[in-house]
Structure 1
Amino acid sequence: MGHAKNLTIIKLGGALLTNKSVPYTSNDAVIKEIAREIKECLASGLIEDLIIVHGVGSFGHPPVLEHKLHHGFKGTHQLIPLSQTQLIVNKFRFFLANELINVGIPVNLFHSSSIFTSEKMRISNFFLDSIKGFLSIGMVPLIGGDMLSDNKMGFCVGSGDQILTLLSKELDADQMIFATDVSGIHEADPKLNPNSPIINNLNIQDLEQVMTNMDNSKLKDASGAMKGKLQSLLVLKEQIKTGFEISIISMNSYGNLISLLKGDLKKFTKIAR
């Protein structure tokens, strides 16, 4: 069962949804605006079929680091901390789902740990029939970062970006939108150098060049997080060549997603063929 309409996958980054410098703090006002804006895009037909992938930001990172869960299974002393981490992240998931449902988006909350398994932190097996089924009747799957069962490490952190690229490939998505707290890929880290220009358009060759440049001295500011994102996008090279488009935008202010979809947004990065 393929998808009947145009499938958009939006990744709501952890830095956008949560305050990464304060553990267990969500950006409530931003989340409410994002929910409202996504609803407007669905209601006006700017988005047809939709999957939302979300980061967990300051709800996932602190307990994972505190209990060293990112190193994999070391002993039964980690099991209760693992349960507690799942619970903390689920509270955030429920909050996010609730905000989306409140504005009338029919989300269906999925847990990555029930869908994907991995081997040495790379997703190796998955079951997407349920996501396809709910998509086909008009629901919006909501899925986020999670601890995954790993057949070599016992368990591992499941990366939202890996999940994103896999869903795009397997479900033949038309476009992917990374919504974050910066307006795209800048020539240097905009948080350190606010005047750094945005790179508006990248083709796949440019993308590989930008990755190389991020290692050189001029761009040593470029954030590791952005580099990780770009690294995961290289997997989609063949799809980009056939017309799949990836946009990186800021959703810190209302209207950017609508402007992007209407073709009016000035500050963003598009990766296309």
Structure 2
Amino acid sequence: MTTILKLGGSVITDKGRRETVDLPALETAASAVADAGVEDLVIVHGGGSYGHFHADEHGVSTTEGTHDAHAARAIHDAMKRLNGHVLDAFGQRDVPVVPIHPFSVAARDETGTLSLPLDSVRTLLHEGFVPVLHGDAVAHAGEGVTILSGDEIVVRLAAGLDADRVGVCSTVPGVLDTNDDVVPEIQNFEDIAAALGASESTDVTGGMAAKVRALLDLGAPAHVFGPEGLEAFLSGESPGTKIEG
């Protein structure tokens, strides 16, 4: 059974402070994964205060690109630095993590359609590793380089690996309605659209609204939950908001 876990950038970093890891939160997440011992696990993490700051500075988003090589390197290098912190935290707890950097293998065509080969992910899973991917810069025909969000990667992994479970760990306990109550289940974006606004901190990938739209496209049910729901998800429970289109 393949499980995909997305750790939001706002969970593992302080998104209000440039390139600042939330080390206690990251270590807590790493310990939860180590203790759960989930087999066939793929981890994806967001950009947080690393990639998002650099992308915003250079005016790069999921749709607006750049032909400035310096800008592309700045975004990618920031994400590699964050990825290094993630690998260290999990590796210190004997989780067999290895990195896969999407900038090296992914691309968008002129219509924005994503190509992300998964042969290396499948092989690493089969060999007992835990692949770790992350939001990144991505080659984009006609745009130069744009941003590939962690949520897009989750969608590609879920379809390409025929995932059984998908979990998205965010800073909130689930998708919240207009009264700030957790919505138990979402089957249609229009049912929750009014409650979904923009992210309060710098986020070039669309915040919760984009996350919900992406997760509705999965072929497997997904759960959005806060850090306190991570252990429950890894143990097979259904914390937070269940999203299934």
Structure-1-length-normalised TM-score:
0.80
Q: 2:185 aligns with which of 188, 198, 201?
A: 201
Report if the CA contact (8 A) 1:115-1:128 is conserved: no
Q: 1:115 aligns with which of 105, 111, 114?
A: 105
The alignment covers a number of residue pairs equal to 237
Structure having the larger proportion of residues in helix: 1
Counterpart residue number, 1:180: 170
Report if the CA contact (8 A) 2:20-2:49 is conserved: yes
Counterpart residue number, 1:246: 222
Report if the CA contact (8 A) 2:167-2:233 is conserved: no
Counterpart residue number, 1:130: 120
For 1:199, the aligned partner's letter is: V
Deviations 1:19-62 (A, max 9, x none): 111111111110001000011111xxxx2210001001110111
Report if the CA contact (8 A) 1:119-1:150 is conserved: yes
Return the offset for 1:151. Answer: 1.2
Report if the CA contact (8 A) 1:187-1:222 is conserved: no
Counterpart residue number, 1:105: 95
Counterpart residue number, 2:30: 35
Return the offset for 1:134. Answer: 0.5
Counterpart residue number, 2:203: none
Report if the CA contact (8 A) 2:175-2:183 is conserved: yes
The DSSP-based 3-state class of the residue aligned with 1:91 is: helix
**1:269 and 2:241 correspond:** yes
Deviations 1:96-127 (A, max 9, x none): 11111110110110001122101358343222
Counterpart residue number, 1:235: 217
| Structure 2 residue runs without a partner (length 5+) | 200-205
| Residues in 1 aligned to 2:43 and 2:66: alpha-carbon distance in whole angstroms | 29
Matching of residues 144-223 of structure 1 within 5 Å? 144-188=134-178, 196-202=180-186, 204=187, 207-211=188-192, 214-215=193-194, 219=195
Report if the CA contact (8 A) 1:123-1:162 is conserved: no
Q: 1:148 to 1:199 in 2, by over 3 A?
A: same
**1:14 and 2:12 correspond:** no
Q: How much is the aligned-residue C-alpha RMSD, in angstroms?
A: 2.1
For 2:66, the aligned partner's letter is: F
Return the offset for 1:272. Answer: 4.2
Q: 1:209 to 1:92 in 2, by over 3 A?
A: same
**1:72 and 2:65 correspond:** yes
The DSSP-based 3-state class of the residue aligned with 1:52 is: strand
Q: 1:68 to 1:260 in 2, by over 3 A?
A: closer
Structure-2-length-normalised TM-score:
0.88
The DSSP-based 3-state class of the residue aligned with 1:181 is: coil
Return the offset for 1:220. Answer: 6.3
- Indicate the percent of aligned positions where both proteins have the same amino acid: 27
Return the offset for 1:170. Answer: 0.9
Report if the CA contact (8 A) 2:10-2:48 is conserved: yes
